[in-house]
A and B are shown apart, each in its own frame.
Chain A
Amino acid sequence: DIQMTQSPSSLSASVGDRVTITCRASQRISYYLNWYQQRPGKAPKLLIFAASSLQSGVPSRFSGGGSGTDFTLTISDLQPEDFAAYYCQQSHSLPRTFGQGTKVE
C-alpha cells in the first residue's frame, strides 16, 4: 500500500492567516492526489483533485500543488468556516489511502 503522511497533525491559526499543509506519498503517484475538508460531524468534502484542480464551488483561497511524492494544500486568508480537518488521498493505486489528517484550530 502507498503510505500518505501529512504534516503537521494539527496547527493553530487565526482568521486571515495563510496556512500550508503538506502531504508526502511513500512512492510516486504523479498527480493522483486529492484534498478533502471535514467539518465536525459532517462528511468530508472534496476541495482539490488531481493535485491542483479546484473542485467546482470551492473558494479560490484554496489551492493545491505538487506532483510525484510531495504535495501541498494552501489556504490563503483563512476564514472562520475553514477551521476543520483536512485529509489528503492518493488515487493512483489500490487500495486508495488517506493521510492521517491535519486539524486547523
Chain B
Amino acid sequence: QVQLQESGPGLVKPSETLSLTCTVSGGSLSSYYWSWIRQPPGKGLEWIGYLDYSGNSDYNPSLKGRVTISVDMSKTQISLKLTSVTAADTAVYYCTRDSPPNMASDSWGPGTLVTVSS
C-alpha cells in the first residue's frame, strides 16, 4: 500500500522560498499523477499543481509563476518550491497521488504545517 510523507521546514520567513519534499513508499511513481494541495488554517482546500509520470507539470495560475514541482525518481520523491512567500501562504501542505483517468486524489500524506512569519 502506497504511503506518502511530506517533510520540510515548518517556519519560513516572508519573501523567502518554501521547499517541501514528499517521499513515496510502497509504490511506484509511474502511471500516476502527483499533486500538491494546501489548506490555510480553518479554511478550504486549494490545488497547487501536479506532476505526471513523464515529468510534465501544471500549476494553479493563482500562484502566478511562483511554484515549481519536480521529481527525483531514484529517491521516489516529489518536491514543491514556492517562492516569495507571504503570510497568505501559511497552510498545511499535502501531497497526493492522483489516479487516471478520473484524477481523484486517492492517497494523501498526513500534511505538514508551514507558517510564514519573521
Q: Which residues from chain A sit less than 8 Å from chain B, CB to CB?
A: 1, 32, 34, 36, 42-46, 49-50, 53, 55, 87, 89, 91, 94-101
Contact = CB atoms under 8 A, between A and B. Distances in A.
Interface stretch (B19-27, B58-66, B73-81): B58-66
B102 interface: yes
Interface of B: 35, 44-47, 49, 58-62, 94, 98-99, 102-106, 108-111
Contact of A49 (B44, B60, B106): B106
A45 B37 CA distance: 13
Contacts of B102: 32, 34, 49-50, 53, 91
A102 to B, nearest CB: 11
B39 to A, nearest CB: 9
Given A43-B110, A95-B61, A95-B62, A49 B104 contact: yes
Given A43-B111, A95-B61, A95-B62, A87 B45 contact: yes
